[in-house]
């Protein structure tokens, strides 16, 4: 009986040993790179356990402004220290002397550290080129001067640049043939999304130091700089944004109290977005909240800015002779306008003072001959369809702007037969919808003499060695456009909005540059008394360089007009051009 129990115990112990040995074989030899349901790479985990690592760059491509300035990050030469220095004797006095800090500061920082760190914490010291060189020439293990990439909580043009995420499900859906690590970021919105295939990481850059069980440096092992196998990455996406102008524009929009709206500034000759501000601002803690929507790419009711379309049609149809006048004491349906009696006005003054009655009459007359004229001229001026750059790049379709809405004139084609609906549509009400970007590009089109071009947000993509991957050339939008003659007449009308004493843009007359433009006030919610307030135009008038839209959505009647904000931006550009 006793021998039997001993035999059973021996069998049990042997079985347990075999199970343990089998488990170790499975762990050590079979599942080294995908252990457990979490697919843990045991080899990497083993190395990590005996390594101290400082990630310098996650390897994802970066965004730069048109002058080469980093947008979403900052590259700062900084001092990196490893915690094993506390167990070593090293020339701390020399480092302190080079960076101009006390030895006690350095000692205290190292004593408190459990992992490699940038000296200075949230406010790292910024080394000069000579300081960096002096530090690295000392070749002290665990002491390095490196270019650290620091990411900002608030990115200029945040909605345009966009956000990233690390969703495994989305990675598999978008890149089923790629084995992306759990830490790899992919684009979620904005340019981060539309340029994601260019931006994907090909490996991170990091400093790695192997340590022993006590955390000290292993004998004979030096710190290694590990970088992506392909030296051409990460890529640089060179945007058309001017960082200095963008930051000033964001400040001005906030100072003017714009809660929902913003500005779009276009370089007319290059057809590029120089600045784009969208409010509400993006909240990094809630990247999919209300602030994630780029309001400058979202269609809204334009109000009287749309009279630009009706005016262009009236010019081509010869519907408004210089001698003809309109009773601007009346509303669009012929009743007395008690709120805004403007008297008898000709076509030019009607445009300058934004008389609804004139454009109601003209649109009804033109519609009898051409029922589709409003939609036709909206297309000619680029208010319908996508405004942003798109085209084939290496057999792949690239659309630069993320979720740009396309605009519309009619919701129901039958409404074209109703004179009342025609009148409302002609003044930018009823079903008319368009984006601030499209309005800005309409102004650029008129300023260019009728030449209609796609708008770029990115000028080129470069490899890490600054060679060009792709260069985005100017592209026509396609389709019909207005004639040079019509564009010239529209330029004169837009200028008169500012020069006429009672023009809706008269407050812009005293600016240091000549401005042309059009105001707009659209009723969006009668019950709440909400309005969209616009001012769109271009400048300088005689040598156009910039097209600009300033807009405040869902605001109240007593809120300020958009001309002060428009004026603010013009002054910023004028001041910059004088430097």
List pLDDT tens digits, range 508-538: 999 999 999 999 999 998 888 899 999 999 9
User: Could you give phi then psi for residue 356, rounded to 5 degrees?
Assistant: -65, -40
Task: Give the model's pLDDT for residue 25.
Answer: 57
| 434 and 570 together in one domain | yes
In the annotation, is 304 catalytic? Answer: yes
Task: Answer positive or negative: Cα dihedral of 63, 264, 429, 406.
Answer: negative
Task: Give the model's pLDDT for residue 488.
Answer: 98
- The DSSP bridge pattern shows strands 236-239 and 205-210 to be unpaired
List pLDDT tens digits, range 170-181: 999 999 988 888
User: Could you give phi then psi for residue 493, rounded to 5 degrees?
Assistant: -65, -45
| 343 and 248 together in one domain | yes
List pLDDT tens digits, range 437-461: 999 999 999 999 999 999 999 999 9
Identify the active-site residue in 304, 350, 519, 567.
Answer: 304
In the predicted structure, residue 80 carries a pLDDT above the cut 90: no
Task: Give the model's pLDDT for residue 28.
Answer: 56
| 234 and 267 together in one domain | no
Domain membership flag for residue 14? no
Of 104, 130, 151, the residue that ends a domain is 151
| 166 and 314 together in one domain | no
Domain membership flag for residue 552? yes
d(CA 52, CA 114): 9
Instruction: Mention every residue, 6+ apart, whose C-beta is less than 8 A from residue 431.
Output: 408, 409, 410, 411, 412, 415, 425
- Give CA separation, 131 vs 75, 100, 138, in Å: 16, 10, 11
Task: Give the model's pLDDT for residue 46.
Answer: 45
List pLDDT tens digits, range 128-149: 999 999 999 998 888 888 887 7
Domain membership flag for residue 315? yes
Across 505-509, average pLDDT: 97
List pLDDT tens digits, range 170-227: 999 999 988 888 888 999 999 999 999 999 987 776 666 666 555 555 544 455 555 6
Q: What total number of domains does the chain contain?
A: 3
Instruction: Mention every residue, 6+ apart, whose C-beta is less than 8 A from residue 550.
Output: 261, 262, 263, 534, 535, 536, 562, 565, 566, 569
Task: Give the model's pLDDT for residue 27.
Answer: 54
| 87 and 180 together in one domain | no
Taking Cα atoms as reference points, which of 519, 521, 546, 543 lies closest to residue 532? 521
d(CA 457, CA 163): 16
| 447 and 465 together in one domain | yes
CATH of the domain at 558: 3.40.710.10
d(CA 77, CA 55): 14
Identify the burial level of 546 via C-beta atoms within 10 angstroms of its C-beta, where 0-12 means exposed, 13-18 middle and 19 or more buried: buried
Q: How many CB atoms lie within 10 A of CB 558?
A: 6
* Domain of 249, in residue numbers: 243-284+294-578
Of 90, 118, 151, the residue that ends a domain is 151
Across 224-232, average pLDDT: 64
| 227 and 375 together in one domain | no
Domain membership flag for residue 34? no
| 68 and 192 together in one domain | yes
Range name among 41-50, 112-121, 306-315, 437-446 with the lowest pLDDT average? 41-50
Bridge partners of residue 74, in order along the sequence: 150
Could you give the percent of the chain with pLDDT greater than 90?
A: 66
In the predicted structure, residue 158 carries a pLDDT above the cut 80: yes
| 123 and 160 together in one domain | no
| 399 and 361 together in one domain | yes
When pLDDT is cut at 50, 70 and 90, the band that residue 3 belongs to is: low
Higher pLDDT, 74 or 369: 369
Of 127, 151, 175, the residue that ends a domain is 151
Across 321-350, average pLDDT: 93
Domain membership flag for residue 9? no
| 450 and 396 together in one domain | yes
Q: How many residues does the chain have?
A: 579
Domain membership flag for residue 37? no
In the predicted structure, residue 47 carries a pLDDT above the cut 60: no
| 203 and 168 together in one domain | yes
CATH of the domain at 216: 3.90.1310.10
Domain membership flag for residue 24? no
List pLDDT tens digits, range 391-404: 998 878 899 999 99
Cβ 569 vs Cβ 262: under 8 Å = no
DSSP class of residue 398 equals E
DSSP class of residue 218 equals P
Mean pLDDT of the chain: 88
Domain membership flag for residue 4? no
Range name among 138-142, 149-153, 359-363, 555-559 with the lowest pLDDT average? 149-153
């Amino acid at each position: 009986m006793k021998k039997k129990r001993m035999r059973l115990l021996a069998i049990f112990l042997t079985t347990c040993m075999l199970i343990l040995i089998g488990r170790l074989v499975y762990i050590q030899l079979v599942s080294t790179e995908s252990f457990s349901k979490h697919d843990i790479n045991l080899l990497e985990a083993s190395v990590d356990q005996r390594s101290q690592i400082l990630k310098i760059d996650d390897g994802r491509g970066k965004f730069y402004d048109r002058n080469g300035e980093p947008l979403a990050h900052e590259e700062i030469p900084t001092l990196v220290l490893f915690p094993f220095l506390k167990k070593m004797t090293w020339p701390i006095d020399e480092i302190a002397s080079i960076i101009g800090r006390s030895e006690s500061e350095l000692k205290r920082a190292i004593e408190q550290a459990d992992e490699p760190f940038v000296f200075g914490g949230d406010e790292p010291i910024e080394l000069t080129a000579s300081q960096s060189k002096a530090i690295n020439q000392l070749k002290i293990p665990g002491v390095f001067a490196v270019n650290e990439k620091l990411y900002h909580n608030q990115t200029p043009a945040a909605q345009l640049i966009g956000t990233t995420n690390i969703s495994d499900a989305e990675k598999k859906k978008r890149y089923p043939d790629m084995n992306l690590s759990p830490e790899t970021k992919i684009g979620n919105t904005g340019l981060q999304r539309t340029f994601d295939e260019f931006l994907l990481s090909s490996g991170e850059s990091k400093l790695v130091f192997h340590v022993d069980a006590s955390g000290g440096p292993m004998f004979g092992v030096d710190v290694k700089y590990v970088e992506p196998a392909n030296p051409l990455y990460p890529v640089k996406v060179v945007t058309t944004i001017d960082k200095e102008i963008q930051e000033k524009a964001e400040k001005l929009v906030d100072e003017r109290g714009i809660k929902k709206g913003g500005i779009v500034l276009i370089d007319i000759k290059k057809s590029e977005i120089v600045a784009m501000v969208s409010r509400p601002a993006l909240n990094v803690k809630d990247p999919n909240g209300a602030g994630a929507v780029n309001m400058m790419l979202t269609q809204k009711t334009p109000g009287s800015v749309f009279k630009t379309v009706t005016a262009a049609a009236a010019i081509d149809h010869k519907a408004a002779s210089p001698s003809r006048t309109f009773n601007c004491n009346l509303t669009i349906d012929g009743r007395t306008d008690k709120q805004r009696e403007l008297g008898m006005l000709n076509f030019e003054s009607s445009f300058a003072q934004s008389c609804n009655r004139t454009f109601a009459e003209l649109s009804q007359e033109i519609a009898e001959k051409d029922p589709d004229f409003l939609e036709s001229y909206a297309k000619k001026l680029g208010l319908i369809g996508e405004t942003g750059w798109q085209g084939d790049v290496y057999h792949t379709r690239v659309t630069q702007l993320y979720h740009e809405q396309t605009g519309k004139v009619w919701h129901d084609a039958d409404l074209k037969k109703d004179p009342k609906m025609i009148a409302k549509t002609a003044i930018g009400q009823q079903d008319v919808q368009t984006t601030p970007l499209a309005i800005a590009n309409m102004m650029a089109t008129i300023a260019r003499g009728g030449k209609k071009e796609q708008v770029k947000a990115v000028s080129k993509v470069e490899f890490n060695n600054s060679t060009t991957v792709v260069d985005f050339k100017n592209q026509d939008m396609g389709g019909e456009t207005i004639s040079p003659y019509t564009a010239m007449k529209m330029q004169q009308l837009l200028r008169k909005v500012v020069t006429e004493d009672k023009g809706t843009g008269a407050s812009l007359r005293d600016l240091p540059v000549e401005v042309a433009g059009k105001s707009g006030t659209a009723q969006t919610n009668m019950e709440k008394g909400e309005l969209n307030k616009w001012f769109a135009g271009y400048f300088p008038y005689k040598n156009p360089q910039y097209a600009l839209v300033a807009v405040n959505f869902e605001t109240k009647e007593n809120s300020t007009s958009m001309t002060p904000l428009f004026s603010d931006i013009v002054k910023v550009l004028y001041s910059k051009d004088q430097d």
